[in-house]
Structure 1
Amino acid sequence: MVAHPGHGLMAAVDVLVVGAGPTGLALALQAHDHGARVRIVERRPEAFRPSRALILHPRTLEVLRPLGVTDALLAKADTAPSAVLHLGRRAVRAGLADLALPDTAFPHLSLLRQMDVETVLARALADRGVPVERGTELVTVRDDGPSARAVLRTPKGVQEIRCPFVGGCDGPASVVRTCAGVGWDGRPYPEEVVLADLELDRDPEGSGAEVFPGRRGLLLLFPLGEQATWRLLATRASPGGSGPEFGQPGPAVPQAELQRLLSDAGLDARIERLAWSARVPLQYRLARRFRQGRLFLAGDAAHNYSPATGQGMNAGIQDAMNLGWKLAFAAGRSAGSTSGWDAAALLDSYDRERRPVACRRLVLTHTAFWAEASTGRIPSWLRAVAAAHAAPAVPVLLARRRLVAEGIRLISQLRVTYQRGPLSVEGTPHLRGAPRPGDRLPDATVSTGGPPQRLHALLARPGVHLLLQRDAEPAPPALLGPRVTVLRLTNSPGRGVVAVRPDGHVGFRCASADTAAGLGDWLSLICATAETQV
């Protein structure tokens, strides 16, 4: 319950989400749509602008699709972007749409500003009656055993809230992580990023980005500025000294310095108007654990990357999609809804699944940022000399669509698997030819008695989905709660069953659905059966 001075008791809350960036908004939405009563608070009175993130990956769009927000996101996105690589005197155009990704409905990178993502997610929450409470700051929080206790400073005064779970989505300087006593390993980068919105005496060459690798770093131009036509992103050696929080825009960069960055990159363009600029110090960090009792960390509160490969916003949203349904299922609607059920395996699975993924992302982004930004002799030579000499071969490599597609699979987390997690269960007898427990469910073409359809479209709703092969026995009604739906695939011969988690990963498979023991045990593990379903 929530106590508010002078206003009595407010409605009970299952999940308090701290932070209303993309991660917090996605977590609140996922938890709400799986039955939790959610409250989301943000210390800033207004949404943070300008945007820092500019790219949505295919997997991020997939996991958001069941929440009904994908169409609104795509309406604001450039889904057929290209990038012009300026390698020495040669300009090479690379298409980032219609990639060789047949098992997803989103075979492209999407250029989309963080502000647009936040607008769509916040509107979806408001439509569900969950407003973002801006100007409300978390002062302290702790796990009290039976519940979490948080103290909030609101525009109406100090307030105490007790609830089952708290989701810390409050960025690199996370109050939730600090109060939980969770270590924060890593270090600052000796390089920084420069951001600016500006007008140049040149027009955009179509959609997408222009990339200029140089000896001193990398410069990118996107026609996605919020206060001007162009957004500039450049890496350079950090001048040092005190500055803002890591990852947060700090002091403005003089126009003369920005013009020098353009000139050093070999770009013959003059800045006509500078609307906004900032230098952004960077770090790479990883929380030692993502869960401490009833307190959970997600997004930049759990891991902090360089901007290389565009992981920040995407990784945070995918954290939220993994965590939100678990908190909702574990919270329950009443004291008796989870009677006799131990949620430990379900809640522990978040750290056991997402932290190894974050470790691998850290290696990927650190390596990519070294190549993009380091001023050491080898990376400087690679950008300034080797890249120019290799320019004639780049179109040949880009023409190999499967090679490019594999790169996108890697950076967008389409290859992520939770096979070693506690929620990934192989039934007996084994079901061959189906995705393994823990793997992402591919977006195959299936039949359910009518014309062929894409599988992800059929599953685009919250909850757990049971996929029965053509000759499988019906699932016993006693196993089916309000969050479980059943789909029979008439084009898939056999008697097996595949259970798909709310985040689109396979949780259970078995070659026979005739006996309900294995399936029932798995559904009970995640609290999704009729007797335990929230």
Structure 2
Amino acid sequence: MDREVLVVGAGPTGLALALHAHAHGAEVRIVDRRVEPRPSRALVMHPRTLEQFRPLDLVDVLRRRALDEPQALVHLGSRTVRVRLDDLRVGDGPLGHPWMVRQRDVEDVLADALHQRGVRVERGAALEDLAVGRDGARALLRGPSGEERVTARWVAGCDGIEGAVRLLAGIPVVSRAYRQEVLLADVDLSGDLEAGVAHVVAASRGLVFVFALGERAPWRVLATRGANDTGRQGPPDRDELQQLLDASGLAVRVDRVAWSDRLRLARRLAARYRRGPVVLAGDAAHSHSPAAAQGMNLGLQDAAALGWRLALADSARRPGVLLDSYEEERRPVARASITLTDLVFWAESSPTGVAALLRGVLAPLAAPLAPALLRRPALTAPTLRLLAGLWVQHRHSPVSRDDLPGHRGLRPGDRLPDSEVVTEHGPVRLHDLTARPGIHVLLARNARDVPPSTLGPRVHVHRLRDRPGTTLVAVRPDGYLGYRGTDPVHLRAWLGDTGALDRAVGVARATR
């Protein structure tokens, strides 16, 4: 094999997948047909996604490029409501609220991390052909130096829903076009518009967002609205953008359009995520409207779920079960997120009926109540947890094993909370304790010893001295519990299913 994992597509999903797989021992190659990354379409990173950047040691790097305490001014008719997103905390740790960060900055951080680890992103290399076999795949790449035939144990398609990997692997997709459209632009604006905050305008024709996060100009404009009834095609020009902003009520003038695009979108979901050695992630597996800022986050969470599986699969007792569990976990999440974004997109952009009434009439009338409502977690927390990705659990996954059924507390498949615990080194938060690649075994105070030397180099053992009992749990690399029980023998069996134990046995034999 030329590489254990060939990643096709160097957007956020592909870059993160390559990094997660490499962090768990895989030899990785990543290619992208584009010579340059495209302009950002995503601007928000939710708490669950931020948490999964912890083991990659990238949270602080990303923070330097982000608005980690973002604010929004919501314009509702003649009223304006200021919203501080860090006040809308739904997580249980320091990463408990959304950040505003451009997709391009996320890509730069991930690409730099890969480069530091010796993995180069190969741009201008297009996948032209793909032959799938039982033990791997043969790919034909065409790049600046001509054609190259490569083999790989696994091929990860991260190149979009109409990308070459899904098409060449023969995986069908269910698709339905939206009637609404999205306008994007990077512009120079003049006028009285507060910088450093996101401006959101609810109007009868749709929502208008203006952020001081442009790439080719200081301001990014994003608007959702009903299907274009003017017959206009192609990117919106200065006049169309000015009309849009005038209708929103923002007193600003468009001085220059540095870049713009008109997106006609569709909801798409691949019929399956895997065919033999080919696996899909991110927009290659699912796509939908940008409403609720789910797209980039879903892809990055796919990457966290898939990267360690690809790295450890060949050491697992049943590789097919381990890889199929990725689709069994992540496809229902994508399906639910598509339903959510459909509803939000309708509310944001439908130009008639109930949605227009909500935006244009009822929202301005309710504006005086907004600050008090936002301060009531009982009202806001369920919606915010849904958007943040904190609702996801995998209790019915094939790789979730519970030897203590009926016991209260966290169960396999649940997200590991970021609570404070006490180890032999003193107090520490759980997400700090588990902030390195691999599987983490947490032993209650009186649990039986599990010598790390019997488990393998990618399994880390911690005893929690403030947690009474004899329970031991294993935390997967993507932050979900995988095993709960009391018997180290059963723990080792579960580790064998994930590939962590078998790889350690192979290492031990090789050193004899």
TM-score (norm 1): 0.91
* Aligned position for 2:264: 281
Determine which of 19, 39, 50 is the counterpart of 1:29: 19
Counterpart position of 2:419: 444
Is the aligned partner of 1:200 residue 2:189?
yes
SS of the aligned residue for 1:228 comes to coil
Structure 1 residues 155, 240: CA separation in 2 closer, same or farther (over 3 Å shift)?
Answer: farther
- Alignment deviations for residues 467-488 of structure 1 (CA, whole Å, 9 cap, x no partner): 0001111115564111100000
Alignment of 1:173-322 (within 5 A): 173-239=162-228, 251-322=234-305
Partner of 2:35: 45
- Measured against aligned partners, the alpha-carbon deviations of 1:244-281 in whole angstroms (never above 9, x if no partner) come to xxxxxx93212111111011112222212222222111
Amino acid aligned to 2:188? E
Post-superposition offset of 1:132: 0.2
Match of 1:382 among 358, 377, 391: 358
Residue type at the aligned position of 1:410: L
- Pick aligned residue for 2:102 from 106, 109, 113: 113
Pick closer, same or farther for the CA change 1:87–1:533 going to 2, 3 Å.
Answer: farther
Deviation of 1:208 (Å): 2.6
Distance (Å, rounded) in 2 between the aligned partners of 1:350 and 1:241:
44
Note the C-alpha offset of 1:19.
0.3
Give CA-to-partner distance per residue, 1:172-224, whole Å, 9 cap, x none: 21111111211211211111111111122225425331111111111110111
What per-residue deviation string (whole Å, max 9, x for no partner) do you get for residues 124-157 of structure 1?
A: 0000100000110001213211211111112111
Structure 1 stretch displaced more, 432-441 or 458-467: 432-441
CA distance in 1, matches of 2:370, 2:90: 21
1:493 equivalent in structure 2: 468
Q: Is the 8 A contact 2:314 2:499 kept in 1?
A: no
For structure 1, which runs of at least 5 residues remain unmatched after alignment? 2-11, 244-249, 333-337
CA distance in 2, matches of 1:278, 1:199: 16
Match of 2:368 in 1: 392
TM-score normalized by the length of structure 2:
0.95
Distance across 2 between alignment mates of 1:329 and 1:403: 42
The answer to whether the 8 A contact 1:59-1:413 is kept is yes
How far the C-alpha of 1:444 sits from its partner, in A, is 0.8
Structure 1 residues 157 and 102: alpha-carbon distance in aligned structure 2, compared to 1, 3 A threshold: closer
Q: Do residues 95 (structure 1) and 69 (structure 2) align?
A: no
Secondary structure in 2 aligned to 1:161? strand
Separation in structure 2 between the aligned mates of residue 181 and residue 274 of structure 1, nearest angstrom: 40
Give the aligned length.
506
Worse overlay, 124-133 or 280-289: 280-289
What does residue 525 of structure 1 align with? 497
The 5-angstrom pairing of residues 427-466 of structure 1 reads 427=403, 429-430=404-405, 432-466=407-441
Alignment-mate amino acid for residue 347 of structure 1? L
Displacement of 1:20 after TM fit?
0.2
Where 1:452 maps in the other structure, the secondary structure is strand
- Please, which of 78, 98, 119 is the counterpart of residue 67 of structure 2? 78
Letter in 2 for 1:43: R
SS at match of 1:79: coil
| CA shift in 2, pair 1:96/1:417, >3 Å | same
Alpha-carbon contact 2:182-2:262 (below 8 Å) kept = yes
1:246 matched to which residue of 2?
none
Percent identity of the aligned residues? 49
- Matches of 1:477 and 1:121 in 2, distance apart? 30
The residue number in structure 1 matching 2:389 is 413
CA distance in 2, matches of 1:149, 1:410: 40
- Single out whichever of 174-183 and 491-500 deviates more from structure 2: 174-183
Q: In structure 2, give the amino acid aligned to 1:23.
A: T
Partner of 1:18: 8
Q: Is contact 1:214-1:265 (8 Å) kept?
A: yes
Q: What is the Cα-based RMSD across aligned positions, in Å?
A: 1.9
Unaligned regions of 5+ residues in structure 2, if any? none
**Match of residue 319 from structure 2:** 343
